[in-house]
Amino acid sequence: MGDFADYARKDFDKKNVVASANNEEADVQFNVEDAKAFSAEETVATTAGTDTSAPVVTTSSTPVTLGRGLDVGTANLVSSFQDNSGNVNLKIQRNAFIDIDCDDYTRNMLTRLGVQYVVVNGRMVVVGDPAFELANIFNRNTRRPMKEGMISPDEADALPIEKMLLETLLEKPKQPGEICYYSVPAEPIDADMNVVYHQGVFGGLLKGLGYEPKPLVEGHAVVFSELAEDDFTGIGISCGGGMFNVCVSYKSIPALSFSTSRGGDWIDRNVASVLGCSASRACGLKEKGIDLTNPQGREEEAVEIYYRNLISYTLKNIKERFESSSSMPSFPEPISIVCAGGTSMIGGFTEVFQQEFEKIQFPIAVKEIRLAEDPLYSVSKGCLVAALSESV
Amino acid sequence: MSSAFDVPKAVDKRLSTMAVDELAKRGMRTVKVLDKASIMSLIDEAVETVVADRLAELKADDRERLREEAKTQFKKLVQERNSRQKEQQEAYEERIENLRAQAVSLEEKLEEAERQKDEISTEVEETPVVETVEVPASPSLDVDQIRDVVREAVAEAKTEPAEVASGSQMEDLKASIDALANKVVQGAAATSSKHVEPPSEDALMALFSREGDEKVENNLDQVEIKNAKAGGVAANLAKLKNLQKETE
Ligand SMILES: Nc1ncnc2c1ncn2[C@@H]1O[C@H](COP(=O)(O)OP(=O)(O)OP(=O)(O)O)[C@@H](O)[C@H]1O
Ligand SMILES: [Mg+2]
C-alpha cells in the first residue's frame, strides 16, 4: 500500500482527531480480505486500458467506481467521482451562505428570483452559488463557514451550513464505508491555527454521511493529480482563496508540506484597502480577466503588485523550509513545479511566477513551471486518485 | 376703486387651504400647488368683472395693464405657497437626516459589540479546543444588513424629491430604526453572556448524524449544483499503483 496513505494515517492518528475516536479500528487501510468481504456479491472487473493491478471496481448495478474525492476549500467545495467509462465527474459549490430576515416580502422576492431557501433558526438561509449571486444583487457580503483554509471559529452557523453543503455535493455512499479522501491544509507556517479541529470536524461530517473519511494534505493532492508523468516527484502548489498549500514530493512521498495563510482573499483585502473599495469588489476586479504581465491602470496594477508579493513570499518560504530541513531528498533530475487552485487562474500567473523564481536562488533545479490541467478541480481529482487507489 | 374686484381674495375664496400634513393623512402624496390654466381663467374672470364695472371708461391698454397687475398678484401668491411647501420638505429631510445619523451611531455600537465579542473569542482560543457547536438562539447581527435597512430607508425617502414624505413613510422609517435599535440591544446582551464551550464528541456526532435533522425545512435537493467533467485519472492511478508496488 502507498506511503501517502501511511503518511495520511500517521498524520490523522498523531493528531488524535476527535471524530475518529468512534473508529473501532485504528487502521484506516483496506487489505484485500477486507475489500472482498466488503463487496462479496459484487462483480470485480478492471477497467480497460489501466494496469491490471489497478483495483478498479465496476458493478453491474452502479455505473460508478467506489471512492470519492472532496476538496474542502475556503472558497469552493468540490466533490468528485469516477464513472465506469473513466470520466471524472465533479460537483462544485461556493463555500458561502447568506441569511435573510424571514418574512413574506423576502419569501416572495426569493421565489420570484427562483432561489431556494432553507429556514434555520427562523432565518432564511441560502447556501452555495445562489447565495453568492444574491449577495452581489444586494451588494452584501456572503457569510463564510471557513476562513484561511479552516473552519471559521467566528462563524457560529458554520457547522450546520457545512453539513448542508456537503449533503448537496455527496450522495449517500455506494457502500457503507466507501472511502472519501478530503483535502486538509498542511500545518500553517505563519498562523497559529487549529488544523486538528478542522480535520476532525470534516472527518466527523463525512462519517455522519456514511463515508470512511481520510484526510490528504492539499499540496499532496495536487501532486497526485498533476505529477503522474514525473513519477509523482516535484512541487505541487494549491493557490487557493484562503491559503497557499505547498507540497514537495519525492516518488509520491511528501518530503515537505506547509501552508501559508495568504491566498486570493488576502489579495482582495489588500487591493480593497489601497483602492478604498469593498473586498468583494476587489475580487470581482481580480477575476474579470486581468493580464498580470500587462496591467491596465491603477486598479489592475494594485492586483499585480499583490500577486507578485504573494508569489515571491511563497517561493521564499519554500526555499527557507527546504534549506533548514535536515532530511531533504536529493533530486537527481530537475523537477517540475505545478500550480493549481483558483488563484493560479489569472492571466500571466506562470510568467510572473517565473520572474519571481529567477530573482531568488532556488535550492532545487527546476525544469518547468506550469499550471494544472484543471486548476479548480485539481485538488479534488488528487483526492479521488488517492481514494480510487485504496478502493477495491 | 371701492368697487374694485379683489383678485387675491377671490382666489382665496375658491382655493381651499389645507395643511400638507392633513393632505398626507388623507393619503394624498402629491400636492398640485396651483393649476396654471385655471389661474389664468380666474384672472380673466376677475378682469372681466372689473371691466364690466367700468366698461365705458376703459381703453384696450388699460385693460391689458389691469390683466398684468392681476397676474402679478397671483404669481406672488403662488410663490408664497411654494416656499411654504419647500420649508416643509426641508423639515422632513432634516428629520430623515437625523434618523440616519441615529442609525449610523447604532451601527457603530454594533461594530463595537462585535469587536468585543471577537476579543472574547480570541481569549478563549488559547484553550486547546475552542469552537462551539451550539447554534445561538438569536441569529447573529449583520452589519451589512443594518446598512441595507438604512440605505433602503434613505433611498425610499429620496425617490421623489418633489414629493413630501408622507406621515406613514416616516412611521416606516422610524419603525425600522426602532427594530434596529432593538437588535443592537439584544445582540450586545447575547454577546456578553455567551460562553464558548468545547464540543463533546457526542455533540459532534449528534450534529453530524443524519437522523438529528430530518425536521429541518429544507429544499436543497432542488438546488441546481454546478457540474463539471474533467480529464480522467486512470493513468495517474496506474502509475501510482506501479510505484507502490516498486516501493513495497
Ligand atoms: N479567474 C480567476 N482569476 C483570479 N482569481 C480567481 C479566478 N477564479 C477564481 N479565483 C480566485 O480563486 C480563489 C478560489 O480558489 P480555490 O477554489 O482554489 O480556493 P479554495 O480551495 O476554496 O481555498 P483554500 O484552498 O485556500 O482553502 C478565490 O480567491 C477566487 O477569487
Ligand atoms: Mg483549495
Nearest to A341 by CA among A239, A227, A219, A264: A239
Domain housing A90: 4-95+144-390
Task: Please name the residue of chain A whose CA is at the shortest distance from the CA of residue B198.
Answer: A197
- Asked if residue A131 belongs to a domain, the reply is no
Q: Which of ligand 1's atoms lies nearest the C-alpha of A239?
A: 18
> Does B230 contact A129 at a Cβ distance shorter than 8 Å?
no
Task: Please name the residue of chain B whose CA is at the shortest distance from the CA of residue A123.
Answer: B139
> Does A122 contact B234 at a Cβ distance shorter than 8 Å?
no
Please state the φ and ψ torsions of residue A132, each to the nearest 5 degrees: -65, -45
Q: What is the mean pLDDT of chain A?
A: 82
Residue A283: nearest ligand to its CA? Answer: 1
Residues within 5 Å of ion ligand 2, judged at the Cβ atom: A 73, 238, 240
In this predicted structure, what is the pLDDT of residue B185?
Answer: 37
Please state the φ and ψ torsions of residue A359, each to the nearest 5 degrees: -80, -20
> Does A197 contact B131 at a Cβ distance shorter than 8 Å?
yes
Nearest to A70 by CA among A210, A234, A182: A182
**Beta partners for residue A369, in sequence order:** A337
- Asked if residue A302 belongs to a domain, the reply is yes
Which three cell numbers mark B214?
430530518
pLDDT: which is higher, A265 or B214: A265
In this predicted structure, what is the pLDDT of residue B53?
Answer: 66
Side-chain half-sphere CA neighbours of B157 within 13 A:
26
**Angstroms from B155 CA to nearest CA on chain A:** 14
Share of chain A above pLDDT 70, in %: 82
Out of A287, A291, A352, A371, mutate this one to test ligand 1's pocket (max ligand atoms within 8 Å of CB): namely: A287
- Which tens digit of pLDDT belongs to each residue from A42-59? 333 333 333 333 333 333
At residue A24 the predicted structure's pLDDT band, cuts being 50, 70 and 90, is very low
- Asked if residue A365 belongs to a domain, the reply is yes
Q: How far apart are CA A389 and CA A174, in angstroms?
A: 16
User: Residue B60: CB partners within 8 Å, gap ≥ 6?
Assistant: none
Distance of CA A141 to the CA centre of its chain: 22
Going from the Cα of A356 to the center of ligand 1, the distance in angstroms, rounded, reads 21
Given a contact cutoff of 8 angstroms between Cβ atoms, the answer to whether A351 and A383 are in contact is no
In this predicted structure, what is the pLDDT of residue B136?
Answer: 30
- Which tens digit of pLDDT belongs to each residue from B82-104? 777 777 777 777 776 777 777 77
Residue of A20, A50, A226 best to disrupt the B interface, most CBs of B under 10 A: A50
Q: What is the mean pLDDT of chain B?
A: 62
Residue A370 CA: distances (Å) to CA of A290, A318, A352, B235: 18, 17, 12, 19
- Asked if residue A129 belongs to a domain, the reply is no
**Angstroms from B42 CA to nearest CA on chain A:** 49
Write the ipTM: 0.74
- Asked if residue A271 belongs to a domain, the reply is yes
Residue A262: burial class (beta carbons within 10 Å; 0-12, 13-18, 19+) = buried
> Does B233 contact A373 at a Cβ distance shorter than 8 Å?
no
Q: Work out how many CB contacts closer than 8 A connect A with B.
A: 189
Residue A156 CA: distances (Å) to CA of A77, B56, B130, B131: 19, 93, 12, 9
**Angstroms from A71 CA to nearest CA on chain B:** 14
Collect all residues of chain B within an 8 Å Cβ-Cβ radius of residue A21.
Answer: 201
Residue of B180, B237, B241 best to disrupt the A interface, most CBs of A under 10 A: B237
Residue where the block lists cell 491544509: A185
- Check which CATH number belongs to the domain holding A180 and give it: 3.30.420.40
Nearest to A384 by CA among B234, B19, B104: B234
> Does B237 contact A377 at a Cβ distance shorter than 8 Å?
no
- Asked if residue A69 belongs to a domain, the reply is yes
Given a contact cutoff of 8 angstroms between Cβ atoms, the answer to whether A247 and A186 are in contact is yes
Going from the Cα of A289 to the center of ligand 1, the distance in angstroms, rounded, reads 14
Q: How far apart are CA A7 and CA A70, in angstroms?
A: 18
**Beta partners for residue A245, in sequence order:** A238, A259
Going from the Cα of B33 to the center of ligand 1, the distance in angstroms, rounded, reads 59
Q: How far apart are CA B246 and CA A342, in angstroms?
A: 35
Q: How far apart are CA A371 and CA A82, in angstroms?
A: 23
In this predicted structure, what is the pLDDT of residue A17?
Answer: 32
Q: How far apart are CA B121 and CA B115, in angstroms?
A: 10
String of DSSP letters for B65-125:
HHHHHHHHHHHHHHHHHHHHHHHHHHHHHHHHHHHHHHHHHHHHHHHHHHHHHHHHHHHHH
Of B145, B208, B242, the CB nearest to A163: B208
Nearest Cα residue to atom 28 of ligand 1: A241
Nearest to A254 by CA among A245, A262, A244: A245
Collect all residues of chain B within an 8 Å Cβ-Cβ radius of residue A128.
Answer: 223, 225
Residue of B114, B239, B245 best to disrupt the A interface, most CBs of A under 10 A: B239
Across chain B, where does the E strand assignment appear?
226-230
Task: Please name the residue of chain A whose CA is at the shortest distance from the CA of residue B223.
Answer: A116
In this predicted structure, what is the pLDDT of residue A31?
Answer: 32
Distance of CA A384 to the CA centre of its chain: 12
In this predicted structure, what is the pLDDT of residue B76?
Answer: 76
Nearest Cα residue to atom 2 of ligand 1: A287
The 10 Å Cβ neighbour count of residue B102 is: 15
- Asked if residue A121 belongs to a domain, the reply is no
> Does A204 contact B148 at a Cβ distance shorter than 8 Å?
no
Which three cell numbers mark A180?
472519501
Decide if pLDDT at A102 tops 90.
Answer: no
Residue A76: nearest ligand to its CA? Answer: 1
Which helix (H) or strand (E) is A213 found in, with range? strand A211-217
- Which tens digit of pLDDT belongs to each residue from A202-214? 999 999 999 999 9
Q: pTM for the complete prediction?
A: 0.62
pLDDT: which is higher, A132 or A248: A248
- Asked if residue A124 belongs to a domain, the reply is no
Q: How far apart are CA B106 and CA B113, in angstroms?
A: 10
> Does A224 contact B140 at a Cβ distance shorter than 8 Å?
no
Q: Which of ligand 1's atoms lies nearest the C-alpha of A264?
A: 29
Which three cell numbers mark A46?
478492471
How many domains does chain A contain in total?
Answer: 1
pLDDT: which is higher, A183 or B190: A183
